[in-house]
Amino acid sequence: MTALDPFRERVDYGPIRFLHRLNPLAKIAAPLPAMAVLLIARDVPTPVAFLGLAFAMLAVGAHLDGRLWLALIVGLPLLVAVMSVSFGLWTNPAGVDRSVTLLSIGDYRLYLGSLAVGLATALRLVSLLALGLLAGATSTGPDLVRAMVQQLRVPYRIGYTALAAYRFVPRFGHELQVIRSAHRVRGMAGGRGPFAAVRRVLGYVVSLLAGAIRHAERVALAMDARAFGAHRDRTERHLVPFRARDWIFIALFWAATAAIVISLKEIP
């Protein structure tokens, strides 16, 4: 199955790969303050520091497959570069340092300052992504749902229904493929152009929805018939405990966040 399989089993990779042993909720709670800082930060060092922290944690504490590492090491810098330039081009030049002009086409001027703002924005987004990966790359869908039911007291009917709904995604993908080839064979009326395209997509949606609603009804009946929702709680075969180490992880992460923020403040 792919890396995005929401149902894959939790695997234990030993004590060094500690992220896999933590409660998913701890891995979400720990970077929250850092994420808040990133949302308001405007400089370059802050996102770089948090990016470094996230990378260090993933490198030590997570077992990632080669493809994901490749995406992180090659893909992320590329993403930063592309976003820096495009954000830079869009930045309002009124508010930036205009001492160095990189490019001038007619009335348009691209300043180094604009590019710096673009870079800062790109880095913020990328470090938010990296912090999200701490939980995203090391937790499984069922574990997250179990943790939400067990610790956050989310009603299990909601949590497990959401999980069951994941199963719809590949099914609908396949169904859409069939519908598209069916419609193509019939030939489309209404000609070419954007309006015809919209109508065409609406045609797919009607077919897809009709099938989806019927499927969802059947799944619901099957779940009812297997006692889903019969009682206020259900047996949890897999406990996802919230242990001392989860608290410690959160505390240390928050402390590190504070340390980064304070130390960067002191550097002028």
Partner 1 sequence: MSAGAAPLEVRGLRVHHDDRQGFTPDDVSFTVNRGEVVLLLGPSGSGKSTLALALNGLIPRAIPATVEGAVLVAGISTADETVGRLSQHVAMVFQDPDSQIVTGTLMDEVSFGPENLRVPVAEVLERAERALRQVGLWERRGDNPDTLSGGGRQRLAIACALALGSPLIVLDEPTANLDPAGIDEIYAVLRELVDAGGHTIVLVEHNLDAAIDLVDRAIVFDRDGRLAFDGPVRDVLLSNVDALLAMGVWLPVSTLAALRLRDAGVALEELPLTPAELAMALDATVLPSVVERSRDQIERAEISTSLDLISTSSIAVTGLTVTRGKKTLLRDVDLEIARGEFLAIVGVNGAGKTTLLQAIAGVIAPPKGTVSIGELDPARADVRELAASIGFVFQNPEHQFIRTTVGEELAHGLEIARVDPDEIERRVAAMLERFGLEAERDIHPFLLSGGQKRRLSVGTALIAGAPVLALDEPTFGQDRERAAALLDLLAQLNAEGTTVIVVTHDMQLVADYASSVAIVADGQLVSHGPTTDVLAGDALELAGLRPPPLARAMRALTRHPAWRSISRLADLP
* Residues forming the site for partner 1 (CB under 8 A): 1, 5-9, 141-142, 160, 163-164, 167, 170-171, 175, 178-179, 181-189, 203, 206-207, 210-211, 215, 218-231, 233-237
Q: How far is the CB of 206 from partner 1 (least distance, A)?
A: 7
Between 106 and 187, whose beta carbon lies closer to partner 1? 187
Between 5 and 43, whose beta carbon lies closer to partner 1? 5
Q: How far is CA 124 from CA 48, 74, 135, 174, in A?
A: 8, 18, 18, 36
Between 87 and 160, whose beta carbon lies closer to partner 1? 160
Closest of 71, 59, 73, 65 to residue 3, by C-alpha: 65
Four-CA torsion 260, 264, 265, 268, nearest 10 degrees: 170
Query: Residue 78: CA atoms inside 13 Å, Cβ hemisphere, count?
Result: 6
Between 98 and 167, whose beta carbon lies closer to partner 1? 167
Q: How far is the CB of 155 from partner 1 (least distance, A)?
A: 13
Q: How far is the CB of 9 from partner 1 (least distance, A)?
A: 7
Q: How far is the CB of 218 from partner 1 (least distance, A)?
A: 4
Between 1 and 267, whose beta carbon lies closer to partner 1? 1
CB atoms within 10 A of CB 145: 22
Q: How far is the CB of 238 from partner 1 (least distance, A)?
A: 9
Between 56 and 169, whose beta carbon lies closer to partner 1? 169
Between 40 and 189, whose beta carbon lies closer to partner 1? 189
Q: How far is the CB of 104 from partner 1 (least distance, A)?
A: 49
Return the bridge partners of 101, or none.
111
Q: How far is the CB of 160 from partner 1 (least distance, A)?
A: 8
